[in-house]
Structure formats: structure tokens, C-alpha cells
Amino acid sequence: MSSVHRAAVTVSVALLVAAASAQTPPLGAEEQTSALMRGEAYTGPSEPTPRGLDGKPNFTGFWRPVREPGKPGGNLGKDEPNFILPFNEVGKRAVLYTQNHTVDPEALCILGGIPRHNGSGLPFEVLHTPQRIAFTYNYNTNRLISIGNNLKKDPDPVPRYFGNSVAHWEGDTLVIETNGLRDSVTDKIWLDENGNPTSDQTQVVERWTRPDFHHFTLEMTVTDPKYYSRPFTFKRTWTRAPKGLGQQEYACNETNLAAEHIGPGAGPIGPDGNRGYGYSDPLPAVPPGPEAYSQD
């Protein structure tokens, strides 16, 4: 089981694609793992949103992503034309840098950070109390955020992978505002699975709702004037895993003996917006050069 997990964390998107196309033969261990991780559309009767001691929606639960047909996973350009983010001129250079000179931070077991985790194909679990909410992710990482109506963003925050966040309620929507993120050009952080860059000026606004028991939805706006020409939005829905399922220990670090041998970049991004080769396709004989990542 643990070896399957290890395989699954490397290119989660590839795993999900592989599983989706493997319907006919009996499920192997990889596909079973994937099935546990993958959300399914909920078609049963609508059940009311659970509420906390403060009367607000309670987001506690184990949430699994529902893939949208024709949309890539792990790509924050999912809702953009051709799945390509609106890089500015500096951003076009930054993406060449990340793809050719930086190792996928998750391959090094560095905290994946925000907004990357919101684009991940893997499930997450939320523990929600009236004043504090935790998002716990695979690789055994987490972020903790305070909730209050008068919390102020730190004007001069210490840079972090998950940034520095405060949350407040707007009606039944929990709004999480994050600044103080690390920068792809100086630190081990990517915007998403595809190796897109993020900067120390990035601000992320997440609007989370739980319209009924089974659904958890996100509308996220990422504003990064350093690498992108305009803000972009990203929408996503997760469904509640069956009762009794939850996240388990998911150790990332056991391969860290090999960290120095991992090459840079996410690998070429296909026209479908996905990274990765899947499990069955052969690796190319010659690794792709910088032209594979040019945004021109």
C-alpha cells in the first residue's frame, strides 16, 4: 500500500488518467488507490448543510475532487483559453526558469502551498471549528487559518509556502485571503502541478461554500502582478467521501535519498493541459528542451 501511495504522489494527474482509462481489466492496486482518492458526482437526495456551534456552515469532512470532462487536473489555467495562464513578459521568463531550472517542490517533499493544493487531483480533509480551520493534505502537510470578522492581513508577513491567511464570513461563504507567499524564482514553490510560477506579490482569495451536505465548492482568484497580466479565477467542486473515510498518514519523505538526482520541470504539458506521461507511455528518448515550455 505505501509503495502505491508513493507512486501516486509523484504525478497524481497521470494516475487519475491512467485509472479512468483502465475500466475493463480487474482493478490493480494502483487503480484501487485511485478509486479511493477520486470523488464521484453525488446523485442522491440533497441533504442540508451541517452547521457549527456558531450557526455557520461546517466544512469538516473528507473531500474528494470531481474531475470535469475535458479539463486538465493540476493546472490553474483550467478555466483559461487553451488552458494557458495570462503570463506577462516577466512571467514568460519565469516559467522557462521554473521548468528548466527548478525541481518539482513536491518531489522534494517541500510543502506544496497555495494555490497549488487547490488544483491538486488528490483529496483533502478539513477540520473546522468556529475560530480555526485546518486543511490537511496528502504528503502529510497542512495549513491552519484563523476565522474572524476583524482579522487583518499581516502587512509585512514572513514568506510561507501556504502564505499568511485570514478568513471571514460573507453570509454562508468563507472567504480566505492569503498574502506573503514564496516566489518561484527564489524558492521551492510552484503555482500548480504544471510548474507555472508564482511570486512574492501573489494574493489569493478563496471563496468556499458548502451548498449541501455532499458538496464543497471553491471560487478562487489569484492576483500576481509580477508574473501575470491580469487576475485569473479557478472554480472547482469536491464531494464528500462516504462516512468513515478520512485521510491517513501519507509519508512523502522516504525517497529523500534521491532528491539530488531529480531533474527539473514538470515535463511537457500536453494540448489537454495535463502534465505527465501516464504509466504506459514510454518516456521520450531525449528530454524536451526549453522550447517545450515557451509561451510564445
Partner 1 sequence: MSLIRSFALGAGVALLAACSQSPAPSGAAAPATPSAEDVLLGKPYNGPTVPTPRDADGKPLLTGYWKLLREPGKPDGNLAKDEPGLALPYSRQGRAALEYNLTRTIDPEARCLITGIPRLLTSVLPFEILHTKERLGTFHYLSWHRWVWLDGRQPEADPDPRYLGNAVGHWDGDVLVIESKGFKDSADGRFWLDDNGNPQSSQAQVVERWSRPDFHHLNLELTYTDPVYYTRPIRYTRSWVIGEPGEGLKEFSCEWNTPWVVNHLEPGPGKIGPDGNRGFGPDGQVVPDLPLGAVAHSSRGTGYWLYRKNKPKPSDLPAAP
Q: H helices of 66-167, where?
A: 89-101
- Partnered with residue 127 across adjacent β-strands are 134
Q: Between 149 and 243, whose beta carbon lies closer to partner 1?
A: 243
Residues contributing to the site for partner 1 (CB under 8 A): 1-2, 53, 60, 109-111, 125, 127-129, 132, 134, 136, 140-144, 146, 158-162, 187-188, 243-244, 246-249, 251, 253-254, 256-257, 259-260
Q: Between 16 and 166, whose beta carbon lies closer to partner 1?
A: 166
**Nearest distance, CB of residue 289 and partner 1, angstroms:** 27
Q: Which residues contact 144 (CB under 8 A, 6 or more apart)?
A: 132, 133, 134
**Nearest distance, CB of residue 67 and partner 1, angstroms:** 25
User: Quick one: how far is CA 202 from the chain centroid?
Assistant: 16
Distances (CA, A) of 202 to 2, 138, 144, 153, 163: 35, 24, 19, 14, 9
Q: Are 193 and 12 in contact (CB under 8 A)?
A: yes
The beta strands (E) that lie in 56-172 are given as 61-65, 124-129, 132-137, 141-147, 164-170
**Nearest distance, CB of residue 60 and partner 1, angstroms:** 5
Measured distance CA(249)–CA(247) in Å, rounded: 7
Q: Between 199 and 247, whose beta carbon lies closer to partner 1?
A: 247
Q: Between 213 and 277, whose beta carbon lies closer to partner 1?
A: 213
Q: Between 135 and 234, whose beta carbon lies closer to partner 1?
A: 135
**Nearest distance, CB of residue 1 and partner 1, angstroms:** 6
**Nearest distance, CB of residue 44 and partner 1, angstroms:** 20
